[in-house]
Each structure stands twice: as C-alpha cells, then as structure tokens.
Amino acid sequence: MLNIENLTNLTINVNLLKKISKFITKESRTGEIDVTICNNQTIQQYNQEYRGKDMPTDVLSFPMENDMIIGDIEMPLGSIVISADFVKTKATEFGHSNDDELSLLFIHGMLHLLGFDHEVDSGEMRKREEEIIHKFNLPKSLIIRTEEK
C-alpha cells in the first residue's frame, strides 16, 4: 500500500505513483510505503539528521530493517521523502513535467528501499531504473543524469 503525505502545493499524480509502485514490487517484497513530499527546508533537516549533510537533497529513502508480510498484514517496506522544490527545479531544467520528475525520484527512492545502491553496485540499480523508466515512458534517470555531469 502506498501512503502519500503532501506537505506542499505540488500536484501529484497518485495513480501513476501507485502503478509504478505496483510494477516495482510485483517481483520483489511487498509492503507499505510512506511517501512524504516536502520543501527544501524540511528535507535539509532530514538530510542533516540522518546523513550528516547540511544541505537540501532531492530524495531520501529510509528502508525498514525487517520488512515482511505476516499473514495478510503488510509490514512497512520503508519511507521516501521527496523535495517538491527539487521536483519543480529539475523539471524546468530538463524540460519535462513535474509528474515525470516526481516519478523519477520516486523510482529512485523505491529501488533504495528494495536494497539497491548505485554507489556500490556494478550497475544493477541503473539497469533496473532504466527498465522501469522505459516501461512508463519517462525521461533520463537520476543515475544517468549524474553520470553525464
């Protein structure tokens, strides 16, 4: 189940995020996912508290340590925090919609919840991200954009 808390005025295509979530988790663990859309100030506080980095960022993922399903009860997979300010800025910068940018950040965060880590893997996260992006006809992934800088 996908729970979205929007603390901003960013319009969110909830149905698209649900479709992406369902597609990503169909082959993996399932569980409850909490998504918070906030401003740069709030995500900077999380980034400082949990990563020791005193600056805003685009997306943070907080996987649950022991996610599982007990009977019919879905245990939480984790939480994703996304900066609406980053969504708007990057969508404008790259010439695509806010929905596209939010979807890219959501995909990136979901893959981290599922244990992928592009900083240490051998391209597995990038490959999976590209498969999902292709399925939903989205623009370039965060990993690709970062590599092109």
Q: Tell me: pLDDT of 76 over 80.
A: no
Q: What is the pLDDT of residues 78-105, one digit of tens each?
A: 999 999 999 999 999 999 999 999 999 9
Query: Where do the domains of the chain lie?
Result: 2-148
Q: What is the pLDDT of residues 7-29, one digit of tens each?
A: 999 999 999 999 999 999 885 55
Q: Please give the structure tokens belonging to residue 20.
A: 């992406």
So what's the architecture of 2-148 in CATH?
3-Layer(aba) Sandwich (3.40)
pTM: 0.87
